[in-house]
Amino acid sequence: MFAKSRFLFVFGLSVACAGAASAADGQHFWSGDWYLSVGAAGFSAPKFEGGRHNKLQWSPLVSIGRQGPGPRFSSRNDNPSFALIETNDFRVGIVGKFVPSRDSSDGRELRGLKKVKWGAEAGGFAEAYPTDWLRARIEVRQGIRSHSGLVADAAIDAFTDITPELRLSGGPRMTMATNDYFNTYYGVDARESAASGLGRYNPGGGVKSVGVGGALTWKASENWTTSTFLEYTRLTGPAADSSLVRERGDRNQLLIGVSASYKFNFTTH
């Protein structure tokens, strides 16, 4: 379900953007040179956001878009996006993210808490290259179905090519959100408190987390790309103060994993 939903979401975002871009020159949106990238990432991460115990997990990596030079740098943290304005030093466009569901099957610590539906987040992004080796990016997304909050991710990555095929990158991250988001994932109302044994908690908005991440990416061939990555996140503010985190979770979140993807190039008329 996760793989299918994520693929449809990424494909739909790409097709919609491509259609808008190609309508201006009178061509069919599907005409031109495209790529399809498929792969997977395997990693150890908390069972749920704010959880204390890690487990082995995996996620599909699927994206489709028009061929071209693309951005100078991309990160595994970047959500599927399409640039509407693009120069050598600046990119602005639309972005989307698939949000999986969460319930007690993701951890016994969640028993008694309401199920969070699967959904999406949609919004915009902007990124800038102040130097040839540094990228700053921000995404602002509105929750759809899973929650009704606003989420903003900010990241700065320094990157250097150790060899033409091997790139090292890393930098700080920060996430902010409104109270609607925190209520969905970290709030505990009276009914949930009675059912779960957790203390009642009604959060406001604020900074959700700060952290740092890094990756070593190897372009094995023109089409094959592999990567190892590490992310450390420390929950802050409304997330860290939640009874779920204080009583049954951990403010410190660690993710480590590997990924591989293959890119298919094709042309349509």
Q: What is the pLDDT of residue 15?
A: 47
Mean pLDDT confidence for 13-35 = 58
Task: Give the whole-number percent of the chain exceeding pLDDT 90.
Answer: 70
pLDDT per residue as tens digits for the range 186-224:
999 999 999 999 999 999 999 999 999 999 999 999 889
Mean pLDDT confidence for 101-113 = 94
Q: What is the pLDDT of residue 181?
A: 98
Residue 130 one-letter amino acid: P
Question: Contact, 157 vs 72, CB < 8 A?
Answer: no
- CA 112 from centre of chain: 27
Across all residues in the chain, what is the average pLDDT?
Answer: 88
Q: What is the pLDDT of residue 29?
A: 58
pLDDT per residue as tens digits for the range 126-170:
999 999 999 999 999 999 999 999 999 999 999 999 999 999 999
Q: What is the pLDDT of residue 32?
A: 78
Domains of the chain in start order, with CATH, are 2-268 (2.40.230)
Token digits of residue 65: 């878009």
Token digits of residue 263: 């890119």
Q: What is the pTM of this model?
A: 0.84
Neighbours of 259 (CB within 10 A): 20
Q: What is the pLDDT of residue 67?
A: 75
Confidence of residue 117 (pLDDT cuts 50, 70, 90): very high
Phi, psi of 117 (to 5 degrees): -70, 155
pLDDT at 16 over 60: no
CA distance 36 to 218: 19
Query: Which residues does 64 contact at the CB level (< 8 Å), separation at least 6?
Result: 10, 11, 14, 15, 34, 35, 36, 37
pLDDT at 59 over 80: yes
- Output the 3-class SS for the chain: CHHHHHHHHHHHHHHHHHHHHHHCCCCCCCCEEEEEEEEEEEEEEECCCCCCCEEEEEEEEEEEEECCCCCCCCCCCCCCEEEEEECCCEEEEEEEEEECCECHHHCHHHCCCCCECCEEEEEEEEEEEEECCEEEEEEEEEEECCCCCEEEEEEEEEEEEEECCEEEEEEEEEEEECHHHHHHHCCECHHHHHHHCCCCECCCCEEEEEEEEEEEEECCCCCEEEEEEEEEEEECHHHHCCHHHHHHCCCEEEEEEEEEEEEEEEEEC
Which residue has tokens 């989307």? 96
Mean pLDDT confidence for 235-245 = 97
Q: What is the pLDDT of residue 219?
A: 92
**Nearest-5° angle of CA 75, CA 79, CA 85?**
90
**Nearest-5° angle of CA 73, CA 78, CA 82?**
85
Lowest mean pLDDT among 10-19, 39-48, 130-139, 186-195: 10-19
Lowest mean pLDDT among 62-66, 133-137, 249-253: 62-66
pLDDT at 9 over 70: no
Q: What is the pLDDT of residue 33?
A: 80
**For residue 261, what are the CA distances in angstroms to 35, 56, 76?**
12, 19, 12
Neighbours of 195 (CB within 10 A): 14
